[in-house]
């Protein structure tokens, strides 16, 4: 199993990915305030646009 303790050189990458995710979450509108049950028919792309949810950047080593 690959762990951070076994591969400490990956710490920079891990911290970068955490920071990217944090910034993405900080930009998005609150999910809990949505009336999900009343909008099942709404496409995911529309939800993303309304809530400001970005697609995560792809990491290629």
Domain ranges of the chain: 8-51
Percent of the chain with pLDDT over 70: 90
pLDDT tens per residue, range 7-23: 788 888 888 889 999 99
Instruction: Write the CB contacts of 24 (distance below 8 Å, at least 6 apart in sequence).
Output: 53, 54, 56
pLDDT (mean) for 41-60 = 90
Look up residue 7 and give its two tokens: 């591969």
Distance CA(40)–CA(29), nearest Å, equals: 18
Nearest to 55 by CA among 12, 18, 21: 21
Query: In the predicted model, what is the mean pLDDT of the chain?
Result: 87
Query: Strand, helix or coil at 36?
Result: helix
């Amino acid at each position: 199993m690959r762990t951070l303790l076994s591969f400490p050189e990956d710490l920079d990458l891990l911290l970068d990915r955490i920071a990217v995710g944090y910034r993405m979450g900080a930009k998005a509108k609150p999910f809990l305030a949505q009336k999900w049950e009343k909008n099942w028919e709404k496409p995911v792309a529309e939800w993303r646009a309304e809530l400001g949810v970005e697609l995560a950047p792809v990491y290629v080593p």
